[in-house]
Structure 1
């Protein structure tokens, strides 16, 4: 059987799948620079640190993921991951290292003089879609080849790589084992709900340094006027449909949700990935009532007018609807979103599939893993723990007093460290308000950093227990074939069988 390690986001394919993936990457990069794509939250004062090259003696890679780093001497690795007696060089492969990662390398090396970290990457900054596509494809292809050959870097960025397939082939270290062996690592200092639900078959193979939330922003004032009570911690999509019908009957708004059938399918599939794909056993489960029910549920909402495709925006009075789907990628995202609907916005957890338990959705970000073939696993883990912990805060960018911090407002995503997040929230409380950058798309916009809103948001962060699956070739198949059902060309059952066959072939390549 031919080994297949196709990229998780479908980078070998031209067209929609790649474009969507590139859009996400550009969004992540621009978030660090203070820009938000689509109808997202405007950029905020204090952002833009990600444009500083920062870092120290960090190499730009050629795009070729190196073989295991050659270390002078034996490295002197000690039991329990203590300081090595000899020099150790860790090779860390990534696509586009942020200024913060470069700065963190510099600080770590100053604290651990026997350890050198070599960053290899393909591009220093975003130039255009074509060059980014080529660099991403080069990174994925060369990393896959190196990992299958038993080589590859000591550490690798996994956001764009097939983590599940690497784990199934025992190519990655189970980080749960590293945590247990590290007496200095206290899981209580981290968002354990994210770590626990990022596992694959009981093992944690990719450490998320940050994460996002998927949720709904609702017009709480308009909803309250209807007299309806919403239990968003437990509601399913069936509950949502029933509530939506009542909202249109009792309220003034006739549209409940702004979205599109294709977008909702993409979102629901990612949010419910374990229901349809068992990576461990390489089995697909699309030919099932759960999947056909999801297809029919989406189409029915649009056929009945409950959901409607309308241009979305963020800002006061910009949308005449009860809800809109939104990814929340930072505290700034959250606070600006709360100013929509004329200041009457409320965050709701997204409804879940009837087959899943209650809880919100998160998407892991900046995931890092350790090559199982690395001779310096303990030292590699120490660097990951450093990146994840508040210890990595206050990282000098260029030997000056200026610094980056994972608890800083400019940090993209919510830090996996709860200690860092608490500092971030405290920064907002002390600031009192948040303003957009001058000359931006929302020049002069200011919102209040309300303490009660910040307290409520903490509950949503800890209540997110469903991991949103990565964009993958499987997702592309679902999107491509699902369109024929939405256009009335095929039945839900026929589409499900077709997807089942195609995904089975892919999983067993």
Structure 2
């Protein structure tokens, strides 16, 4: 395995990014090694065992390509204060100069700006025409969710989910009917209130829907889950002054006042729900079955027009783009297709769920067999007891995942800052909504 290049200073990074990107677009003047191999450069934020293995496997399949991985950080190395911003600045400088590496990991980078300036290759036609990819097996809903201006500019190596884990014992005893595939936050509050009432009648005191959740946390969760209802980035439009958004603020506050949620901790078994990230099939078992004896996996509520839509919210991991001026676009596309191949998606070092439905099903089936045989243990050493029907639920949630939303951290920050005036009692929900609307509208049109 060749030695990887690690660039710590901004100047060194700029030099490395621009060194391999000269010479127009397409396949003109491809850089080559002295052995005659085409040089293909890949820019990463930091190294990991996955990329080391991926490099080896890719070069075995394509011996005429020399994949050169350039990483800003070595594995496990910490980012110092302001250092990630230096990395962004260095990468932006290389891209804005019209140069850069052939393939770029774009997580945390201004992808929309790159696209608007024509710096990234639209892979839409390549994806449609490629015969090596099984589009029926590929999680196309996630790929489509990443589109910008109708084009495919980034491809992820995997994805994670966020779900709601319910206390199956308390929910089952309360016998309150609801459908997590269609419920909104109002219904969530009504269900929680009724379950808590019945739990108290049966002698279980101090039950909360969510614990360690002050109202501002719940509001943040609501905003994450319903972001697309209030922000249209392509149209540079926001609707935070809408009745639906005002209702979210009030619902978060009211659930706190009615003690449906609490900022304090709940005693074990006295919490109805937990919002949980699911990064692999193991997370369907390890977290939920440590939290509750009989967990119930369900979807988080939504608001407005998104209420009633199926599918868990998706977080992608490691999105890759091809430089529009790369002289090795054909080779870069080979890398993307290899990344989406079963061989690469099955690598143990890869993070998140697979972009291939068949791989996810295999991973869950393998986990189910381990649980059945008694070979799978929880982190506390106890044997995991998961009924077969739960694995069916796991598969349904993973395969139907389609709610990818490109959350703008600046918009989230503005909403969080301004909402505190409402939760502290200084301003009304309507006043705060107008302040958020004005600030976000100004930001979107900058």
- TM-score under structure 2 length normalisation: 0.87
1:374 paired with 2:311, answer: no
Q: Select between 271-280 and 63-72 the one with higher mean Cα deviation.
A: 63-72
Indicate the residue corresponding to 1:434 in structure 2.
Answer: 376
SS at match of 1:257: coil
Q: CA deviation at 1:391?
A: 2.2
Q: Matches of residues 46-125 of structure 1 in structure 2 within 5 Å?
A: 56-62=2-8, 63=10, 64-65=13-14, 66-67=17-18, 69=20, 87-125=37-75
Residues 383-426 of structure 1, C-alpha deviations (whole Å, 9 max, x = no match): 01211221225xxxxxxxxxxx43x3x64311112232233223
SS at match of 2:235: coil
SS at match of 2:18: coil
Q: Matches of residues 207-246 of structure 1 in structure 2 within 5 Å?
A: 207-246=155-194
For 2:254, which of 295, 300, 307 is the aligned residue?
300
Whole-angstrom distance in 2 between the partners of 1:489 and 1:497 = 14
Whole-angstrom distance in 1 between the partners of 2:364 and 2:209 = 31
Indicate the residue corresponding to 2:217 in structure 1.
Answer: 263
Q: 1:127 to 1:184 in 2, by over 3 A?
A: closer
SS at match of 1:122: strand
SS at match of 2:298: strand
Indicate the residue corresponding to 1:396 in structure 2.
Answer: none
Q: CA deviation at 1:175?
A: 2.6
Indicate the residue corresponding to 2:309 in structure 1.
Answer: 358
Q: Matches of residues 455-466 of structure 1 in structure 2 within 5 Å?
A: 455-466=392-403
Whole-angstrom distance in 1 between the partners of 2:48 and 2:256 = 41
Q: Matches of residues 57-456 of structure 1 in structure 2 within 5 Å?
A: 57-62=3-8, 63=10, 64-65=13-14, 66-67=17-18, 69=20, 87-128=37-78, 131-252=79-200, 254-258=207-211, 259-311=213-265, 318-340=268-290, 342-356=292-306, 357-359=308-310, 360-392=312-344, 405-406=346-347, 408=348, 411-432=350-371, 433-435=375-377, 442-448=379-385, 450-456=387-393
Q: 1:58 to 1:423 in 2, by over 3 A?
A: farther
Contact 1:256-1:321 within 8 A present in 2 as well:
yes
Whole-angstrom distance in 2 between the partners of 1:447 and 1:157 = 37
Residues 425-482 of structure 1, C-alpha deviations (whole Å, 9 max, x = no match): 233233334336xxxxx55344246543222201011222211434512211111111
Q: CA deviation at 1:505?
A: 2.9
Q: 1:110 to 1:452 in 2, by over 3 A?
A: same
Whole-angstrom distance in 2 between the partners of 1:195 and 1:498 = 34
Q: CA deviation at 1:172?
A: 2.1
Contact 2:236-2:445 within 8 A present in 1 as well:
yes
Q: 1:499 to 1:227 in 2, by over 3 A?
A: same
Runs (5+) with no aligned partner, structure 2 = 29-34
Q: CA deviation at 1:148?
A: 2.3
Which has more radius of gyration? 2
Whole-angstrom distance in 1 between the partners of 2:224 and 2:88 = 21
Q: CA deviation at 1:228?
A: 1.0
Runs (5+) with no aligned partner, structure 1 = 1-54, 78-84, 394-404, 437-441
Q: CA deviation at 1:285?
A: 2.6
Contact 2:225-2:301 within 8 A present in 1 as well:
no
Contact 2:18-2:94 within 8 A present in 1 as well:
yes
Indicate the residue corresponding to 1:5 in structure 2.
Answer: none
Q: Select between 338-347 and 447-456 the one with higher mean Cα deviation.
A: 447-456
Q: 1:255 to 1:236 in 2, by over 3 A?
A: same
Indicate the residue corresponding to 2:31 in structure 1.
Answer: none
Whole-angstrom distance in 1 between the partners of 2:71 and 2:265 = 37
Indicate the residue corresponding to 1:33 in structure 2.
Answer: none
Whole-angstrom distance in 2 between the partners of 1:164 and 1:264 = 29
Residues 155-189 of structure 1, C-alpha deviations (whole Å, 9 max, x = no match): 11122122233333333223322211211111112
Whole-angstrom distance in 1 between the partners of 2:113 and 2:382 = 45
SS at match of 1:355: helix
- TM-score under structure 1 length normalisation: 0.76
Whole-angstrom distance in 1 between the partners of 2:145 and 2:21 = 35
Q: 1:171 to 1:268 in 2, by over 3 A?
A: farther
Contact 1:318-1:340 within 8 A present in 2 as well:
no
Count of matched residue positions in the alignment of Structure 1 and Structure 2: 424
